[in-house]
Chains A and B, each alone.
Chain A
């Protein structure tokens, strides 16, 4: 077994689609984009559900409660292929008939949810789109990082980033082994330790339809062009 890590989602998705990986923990957004080429192995269960939310965070000292107050901001996205760190906020804008440059004065990608929190807490960005699960875990393990920020908006519950494999893996046996390891993780001492570290309950098989909401957001954004 070998663990592969890359800076952007795009790099991991490319490796996965090209069959170089037996499986990958990807975001719901690339999953719905390449659903026909991918299969779901398992979905993490967080707080009893296979769901999570996207947060829009701002400086703690900043006034305003409405997303509309963020007009003209410098906004930090996590990754152009991230659901919670890009798609959710962009879809929200698309609902208003706006593209990000129409609403924000400027935006950039921090390539990591933690970096988005750093960007907002340092003042580099005035607001940021971040994974709610990552934000909550950070709040627990690095309170100093999240302390200068607050959550302005929480999205609806959406499918938790799944573990996916190519629809036709090069080594089906390895993929199956990986699936079993994930699904049985909560039955094993070392597995439970990993889950505890990740603040997750367990991994479970879920139906691909669970990601339809994300697919819908993708379509909204696509429609605007």
Chain B
């Protein structure tokens, strides 16, 4: 199954690594911010606790004699004056209650009048003892101090403190942290992106060369690029170049072999053709001789003329078939039934030589939109291969059909079966990796190359009953061929 292109595993490494760096930076900055803010909150709370303790200590010592005497005015006066004093914190409300829990005086007397009982909701805001309770949502801190005189609890100071400035300081720190971290993260991710991109430059060069090699000539990497890459990549490039040289050498060898193979098959064909021409020649020379000697006899003349005509027609057919096949490899006219049937003439000498029978089944009509020359050559090579593979006195069969937009040509023989390496070579989608052939008669490389030229596909079957069936399937072309015909 093809991996989804959107899936992170399919992303280029030059994107993945900077992203990873950015993600790590975000994680680190989140952790650092969290630590800084927690520490800041702790420090602020400690600081607030110290300030409130100092504030309450000062208040408590000045209030004590007045609370003892329950002197409402003096208690209020002290609370009122302490409000204006800058003690580093902002008390919003301060309430002094006597030992019975009744208000002696509050900094805001309209809210809690003198001698009124402390409401339960008010008491709930304060922790037992001297603890500091922080209500962040309300931007308030609550603390209290119990005043003791000679071991007796004489009153309590309740202080409500505005911590909005502390919270504002905290959010300012948070904002600074966020902005700084964001800029740092973006900066590092950008640097990471370009650094990784630069580091991966040689990999891209290698990938580009490998891609090109797949399409044709394997091109070595230029020396300046190797020097530029340096280090491990330079060594890698040199190894690649050595490999490219080996591949190119092998390809040249394969081309040479193919050329030789082509010449060999041409030679074989030529000798067959000579034989085909030679056969009627004997009869024709006899006819000429008979004409010379008994030319005055009309019947002899007539017979001789017929023999000469038959012989010449036979020679014409053979020559035409050969011309058709080798006229021009890039000929693009559509193939006809007769073009295919002609092939029988060309392999006739081979059939005769090995005493083979040919079962020919051609079910296609005229004008099939596949390139005539390439298909004929491929078909001829397949037939010659089948003749070569078939044992003496056996049969080869050919079946030509049209099926769902495909031109199909199947050649079957009763030979020992196509070795696996040739089979996989024929069936592979890539013809460039030609196997070095130890059997020059097979001409597989040509078949494969012709099939590639016309966009055909080759399938090889080795049935259990023995022999080999090779099928050539060529998609019909819908336009163009008729015009050049």
Contacts and interface: CB of A to CB of B under 8 A. Distances in A.
- Do chains A and B interact in one complex? yes
Interface of A: 74, 76, 105-106, 108-111, 115, 118-119, 122-125
Interface of B: 71-73, 76-77, 80, 105, 108-110, 113-115
B110 A110 contact: no
A108 B66 CA distance: 12
Given A74-B114, A124-B114, A108 B80 contact: no
B115 A115 contact: no
A122 B73 contact: no
Residue of B105, B114, B115 with most chain A CB atoms under a 10 A cut-off: B114
Nearest to B76: A124
B76 A74 contact: no
Given A124-B105, A124-B109, A106 B76 contact: no
Contact of B73 (A105, A106, A119, A123): A119
A62 to B, nearest CB: 12
13 contacts: A74-B114, A76-B73, A106-B114, A106-B115, A108-B72, A111-B73, A118-B77, A122-B76, A122-B80, A123-B113, A124-B73, A124-B76, A124-B109
Nearest to A112: B73
Contacts of A123: 108-110, 113
A109 B72 CA distance: 8
Contacts of B80: 118, 122
A115 B109 contact: no
Given A118-B80, A119-B73, A123-B113, 19 more contacts: A74-B115, A76-B73, A105-B115, A106-B114, A108-B71, A108-B72, A108-B114, A110-B73, A111-B73, A115-B73, A118-B77, A119-B76, A122-B76, A122-B109, A123-B109, A123-B110, A124-B72, A124-B109, A125-B114
A109 B110 contact: no
A110 B75 CA distance: 10
Q: Which 10 A-B pairs have the closest CB atoms?
A: A108-B72, A123-B110, A124-B109, A110-B73, A123-B109, A106-B115, A74-B114, A124-B76, A108-B73, A106-B114
A113 to B, nearest CB: 12
Nearest to A105: B115
A224 B108 CA distance: 36
B48 to A, nearest CB: 27
Contacts of B110: 123
A74 B113 contact: yes
A36 B77 CA distance: 37
Nearest to A119: B73
Nearest to B72: A108
Contacts of A106: 114-115
Contacts of B105: 124
Contacts of A74: 113-115
Contacts of B76: 119, 122, 124
Contacts of B77: 115, 118
Contacts of B114: 74, 106, 108, 124-125
Nearest to A126: B113
Contacts of A118: 77, 80
Nearest to B77: A115
A108 B115 CA distance: 11
B92 to A, nearest CB: 16
A106 B98 CA distance: 15
A123 B114 CA distance: 10
Nearest to A124: B109
Contacts of B71: 108
Contacts of B115: 74, 105-106
Contacts of A122: 76, 80, 109
Nearest to B73: A110
A76 B114 CA distance: 11
A124 to B, nearest CB: 4
Nearest to B110: A123
A75 B405 CA distance: 113
A48 B71 CA distance: 38
A122 B76 CA distance: 10
Contacts of B109: 122-124
Contacts of B73: 76, 108-111, 115, 119, 124
B96 to A, nearest CB: 12
A189 B80 CA distance: 40
Residue of A110, A119, A123, A124 with most chain B CB atoms under a 10 A cut-off: A124
A199 B108 CA distance: 34
Contacts of A111: 73
B318 to A, nearest CB: 132
B63 to A, nearest CB: 15
Nearest to A109: B73
A125 B114 CA distance: 8
Contacts of A110: 73
B371 to A, nearest CB: 109
B369 to A, nearest CB: 106
A78 to B, nearest CB: 10
Residue of A111, A115, A119 with most chain B CB atoms under a 10 A cut-off: A119
A115 B114 CA distance: 16
Contacts of B108: 123
Nearest to A115: B73
Contacts of A105: 115
Nearest to A76: B73
A144 B72 CA distance: 23
A111 B105 CA distance: 16
A132 to B, nearest CB: 20
Contacts of A124: 72-73, 76, 105, 109, 114
A125 B76 CA distance: 11
Nearest to A123: B110
A83 B202 CA distance: 105
Nearest to A108: B72
A76 B77 CA distance: 13
Nearest to A125: B114
Nearest to B102: A106
Contacts of A125: 114
A125 B115 CA distance: 11
A7 to B, nearest CB: 10
